Amino acid sequence: MTTRERLPISEPFTLEQIDTTLIPAANRSDGTASTWSDIWKFQVPAGQGITLMSGGQISMYLEDASTEVGNNTCRVRISIADTSENDGRVIWGPQPYINLKEFADRRKVARFQLATPVPIYEEQFLKIQVYDDAAIDESDSTFMVEMVRTRQGL
């Protein structure tokens, strides 16, 4: 009798702020004015990995205290950090927020321009960080990031 080798499965994966299982309340935070702030943090589950790919879509809508961020001072970047969050690096950006606002028109949406795929390993954090001259209201903001998820097959 032979055992079948469990091969990893790679599949498209979309991360969104509405998934409170993947991004619980403890990993959401309003942004502080005039400083880089972690608005959303996603910790890759054990036994999985994610990879940002060139051409993957990134879209978001950001609000400050009462309205959409509308000036050219707001910037967005994505970074990764280890499980302790003591070691990390920026892997994409900073990009002007105004370039990331489109969700629907596939011809106009922002896409990652990466030289090589960027893997993020189990239990590491993917952080969406924002810098603006006003405080960002996380609860009235939204985002969507396309990537590839790799997990162990059954």
Q: Which of 69-73, 92-96, 105-109, 111-115 has the lowest mean pLDDT?
A: 69-73
Domain residues of the chain, as ranges? 10-152
First to last CA, the chain: 18
Residue owning tokens 């498209």: 12
For 11, 30, 139, the CA distances from 110, given in Å and listed in that order, are 21, 23, 22
Does the pLDDT value for residue 4 go beyond 70? no
d(CA 90, CA 88) in angstroms, rounded, equals 7
In the numeric block, which tokens belong to residue 96? 């002007």
Fold of 10-152: Jelly Rolls (2.60.120)
pLDDT above 50 (res 1): no
pLDDT digits (tens, 9 = 90+) for 18-30: 988 899 999 999 9
User: What's this model's pTM, rounded to 2 decimal places?
Assistant: 0.89
